[in-house]
Structure 1
Amino acid sequence: MSPTWPWLLGAGILASVHCQPFPAQGEKNLGHPPTPQPDASEPLPAYLKVTPTITSFALRLYKQLAAGTPGNILFSPVSLSSTLALLSLGAHADTPTQILEGLGFNLTETPAADIHRGFQSLLRTLDLPNPKLELNVGNSLFLDKALKPQRRFLDSSQELYGAVAFSANFTEPATTGRQINGFVRKQTYGRVSDCLQEFGRDTVLVLVNFFFFKAKWKHPFDGYQTRKQDSFPVDGKPPLRVPMMQQREMHRFLYDQEVACTVLQIEYSGPALLLLVLPDPGKMRQVEAAMRPETLRRWSRPSRPSLLDLHLPRFSISGTYNLEEILSQIGLSNLFSVGSDLSGVMGQLNKTISRVSHTVVMDMNEKGTEAGAASGLLSQPLPLNVTWTPRAQFNRPFLLLLWEVTTQSLLFLGKVVNPVAG
């Protein structure tokens, strides 16, 4: 991979299941994400039944991560939410409802069957061939060779989520771990490695979601214009010296007086958009607190592109999170209790999720963005009106949201605090 490619990468959910006793401002706004104008005579695509909820789930999860993570943040809402939704197919009793409602779905308005069909539509649409946008999305199940998984779960997971099942020997955890990590590494073209950090000989199932994204900027940066070393302040530490990309180009942008931030849209040559949010100095917490679906809708009002003097750091960030505590705080606590019923997967009642991890990496530079994500569930017993060329200088921490335009889906959400953290 050429070093001039930016790339973004996520390796996601890793959940451990253990056996336990089953108890008796301005008016000029950014056009992002653009709203498709469907034919009034045609039904709305099924994915529109899930993408707004995925965005809301992402914002709730982001705020929990921001409260406990002082540095960079990056995760894939699509990867996380689709893996948890897939898991609900193997749940019985109240557990499917608890999972889907924990993700934010209103089952009175959108029945579970419609939710699963929505994820099916989303994943299939994202995976469609496009010469200007490379996406590789899929799910796989690695089941212990001694298991007799439920046929209904396997059939539903394959039909709705494209999940392919493989037999695995978890009595040799080191060897099997290398095999699964190698599979994810291959599916994400080497960008996600070692997403499955550990599991034991009592593991019975690993559910993996992989996600790869690659696109070029519509207006690439000129590498000769990149300043080799520029100042990027980090709270409580000496300023960092980072490479700063520069260009004078037409972009959609706005200044939101209500939230105190600059909002910039950078287009790709394919149907994807990067939304960058630069808080005013000292206003990061204010902006984070204001991030709601209605805030994104306000930023989405259309505006004409204007000439902008843009300064953006070339950066590489990564992160690994254990999410079981955070997911519990946003409504998924029952998933980790001994009362959860996942018997639809393996026909056994004493299985609960005890560990969820998510790992993401992003590297962005002058030519475009390459991104990947992998999520795995491990199962084991137990306004800006100007007449001059304005400048947007991203020389302090900022937020990023990467959207796929056709489905209006939020692929990645994060915060860049240290552009060279790796």
Structure 2
Amino acid sequence: MAGIGPARSAGALAAYSPPPPALLTADGVERVAVDRAAYAAEFRAFRASALTLGAALLADGGEGAEGNVVSSPGSLLIALAMLRAGASGETAVEMDKVLGLPAGTRDEAMNALLGFLAAYDGDPGSVDEKDPPRKPVMHAANGLFADTGVPTGKNYLATLAKHYGTGVYPVDFQDEAATKPAIDAWVNKNTGGRIKKAPAEYDRDCTFSLLNALYFAAAWRSPFDPNDTQDSPFTKSGGEEISVPTMHNMLELAYAEGARWRVVDLPYAKGFVMRLVLPGPGEGPETLTAATLAEIAAALDTAPEVLVLISLPRWDHKSSFDLRKVLGSLGLDTTLTTTKDFDSIQSRLTITKAAQAASITAAEKGTVAAAVTRIDGMVTGLPPEPE
């Protein structure tokens, strides 16, 4: 289980983790400022895509969660958008169709979304996880580790710099003793130590490793009184009843209900909410399809606030996912097998591994969570004959 530790300073993290190699960005290319208001339609498409990914992650169930699934469709969506920026041919068509990504303005819209999150950016290492901040910390980081022996496309690097705020970390994947700790240090730093190592087994033949990290810490708008927390019965989806530490509160919350669910938005002190969905009796996680989640989101967009007696389990969970299996279940077959459609990233690049690790702690004062998505690739086959 992911533990809750004392406040960590950036200096303390640096003392235990080697710094990543120098970040190289496209020459003369700067992050483009975009107007978030101009991308309302694209944001709706991103939400629909995130719901699709979330339902697929939930259906997969992950590993190491003992029945409790913790995932970040948001982190996966950002990573896939970065990958799509270097895709062409059948792979580009497939990714757009399966994921519902907006055509033409995808990277600009993602830049606008990341810019919105940047308003809440902060150092994960400075957060006291036992006392989450009233002003939320929402830290998003993108990183690309590329092998020094394989050229990375200049146009792709320019897109990363313009819209994703990152460049490339040149590394030697054959030198595992140096490169693996560098990638792990990047993960550790950008998740405040909640996730200490990058997901997916290290591969010395890798030539490309794309990562997204998200870290969130925030206090509830109305905290739960620890004196009211007590063991209470909780009914699992299979009907089994267990006893879990349960927090209690009475609040005015946005509330909606449908034929097979009830839902509330539990607000943090500023800017964010935790959406809590309670399936009907006898309903399991399979109820929460992308279509159902979209129906729930639409209902809450116009839901009134009512007085709600809320009983919420206190929890501390983590999960990991083999994302090749998850993405395959969605039909991204060409994306996972092509050896030519990512040539603008690296010539003859193919995706070899994809994984995610996620953790969350929800307690009386607030929530702390982190996730890392990693997509690895390698060049394949013989180089083309010189002219």
Instruction: Encode CA deviations 1:139-173: one digit per residue, 9 max, x unaligned.
Output: 11111122221221111111111123111121122
Q: Unaligned regions of 5+ residues in structure 2, if any?
A: 8-34, 122-133, 381-387
CA shift, 1:73, in A, is 2.2
Residue number among 368, 371, 378 corresponding to 2:369 in the alignment: 371
CA shift, 1:284, in A, is 2.9
2:206 alignment partner in structure 1: 203
Q: Structure 1 pair 47/213, CA: closer, same or farther in 2 (3 Å)?
A: farther
Farther-moved stretch of structure 1 (173-182 vs 152-161) = 173-182
1:392 alignment partner in structure 2: none
1:394 alignment partner in structure 2: none
Query: C-alpha root-mean-square deviation of aligned residues, in Å?
Result: 2.6
TM-score w.r.t. the length of structure 1 is: 0.72
CA shift, 1:210, in A, is 1.2
2:48 alignment partner in structure 1: 56
CA shift, 1:330, in A, is 1.9
> Where is the helix percentage greater, Structure 1 or Structure 2?
2
**Where do residues 348-363 of structure 1 align in structure 2 (5 Å cutoff)?**
348=347, 350-363=348-361
Q: Per the alignment, in what secondary structure is the counterpart of residue 108 of structure 2? A: helix
Is the aligned partner of 1:145 residue 2:148?
Answer: yes
Residue number among 81, 94, 97 corresponding to 1:98 in the alignment: 94
1:311 alignment partner in structure 2: 311
* Residue identity in the other structure for 2:118: D
CA shift, 1:189, in A, is 0.8
> Where is the strand percentage greater, Structure 1 or Structure 2?
1
1:410 alignment partner in structure 2: none
* Residue identity in the other structure for 2:197: D
Q: Is residue 4–residue 367 contact of structure 1 (8 Å, CA) maintained in 2?
A: no
CA shift, 1:237, in A, is 8.7
Is the aligned partner of 1:122 residue 2:113?
Answer: yes
* Residue identity in the other structure for 2:201: E
CA shift, 1:101, in A, is 2.5
Q: Is residue 232–residue 244 contact of structure 2 (8 Å, CA) maintained in 1?
A: yes
Residues in 1 aligned to 2:67 and 2:318: alpha-carbon distance in whole angstroms = 10
Is the aligned partner of 1:156 residue 2:152?
Answer: no
TM-score w.r.t. the length of structure 2 is: 0.78
Instruction: Encode CA deviations 1:89-142: one digit per residue, 9 max, x unaligned.
Output: 22233332322322113xxxx433x11100011011111247712111121111
Q: Is residue 4–residue 365 contact of structure 1 (8 Å, CA) maintained in 2?
A: no
1:338 alignment partner in structure 2: 338
**Where do residues 175-190 of structure 1 align in structure 2 (5 Å cutoff)?**
175-190=178-193
CA shift, 1:47, in A, is 4.4
Residues in 2 aligned to 1:3 and 1:244: alpha-carbon distance in whole angstroms = 21
1:11 alignment partner in structure 2: none
2:265 alignment partner in structure 1: 265
Q: Is residue 36–residue 109 contact of structure 2 (8 Å, CA) maintained in 1?
A: no
Q: Per the alignment, in what secondary structure is the counterpart of residue 245 of structure 1? A: strand
Residues in 2 aligned to 1:285 and 1:167: alpha-carbon distance in whole angstroms = 42
CA shift, 1:3, in A, is 6.3
* Residue identity in the other structure for 2:100: G
1:283 alignment partner in structure 2: 283
CA shift, 1:281, in A, is 1.9
CA shift, 1:66, in A, is 4.2
2:303 alignment partner in structure 1: 302
Instruction: Encode CA deviations 1:196-253: one digit per residue, 9 max, x unaligned.
Output: 33122211111111111111100000111111x2222346696433211112333232
Residues in 1 aligned to 2:162 and 2:54: alpha-carbon distance in whole angstroms = 31
Q: Structure 1 pair 237/94, CA: closer, same or farther in 2 (3 Å)?
A: closer
2:124 alignment partner in structure 1: none
* Residue identity in the other structure for 1:373: A
Residues in 1 aligned to 2:94 and 2:4: alpha-carbon distance in whole angstroms = 44
Quick one: percent identity of the two aligned structures? Answer: 25
Residues in 1 aligned to 2:41 and 2:353: alpha-carbon distance in whole angstroms = 28
CA shift, 1:292, in A, is 4.3
Residues in 2 aligned to 1:267 and 1:51: alpha-carbon distance in whole angstroms = 21
Residues in 1 aligned to 2:262 and 2:237: alpha-carbon distance in whole angstroms = 20
Q: Structure 1 pair 149/254, CA: closer, same or farther in 2 (3 Å)?
A: closer
Instruction: Encode CA deviations 1:352-408: one digit per residue, 9 max, x unaligned.
Output: 1132211211110001112222222212245xxxxxxxxxxxxxxxxxxxxxxxxxx
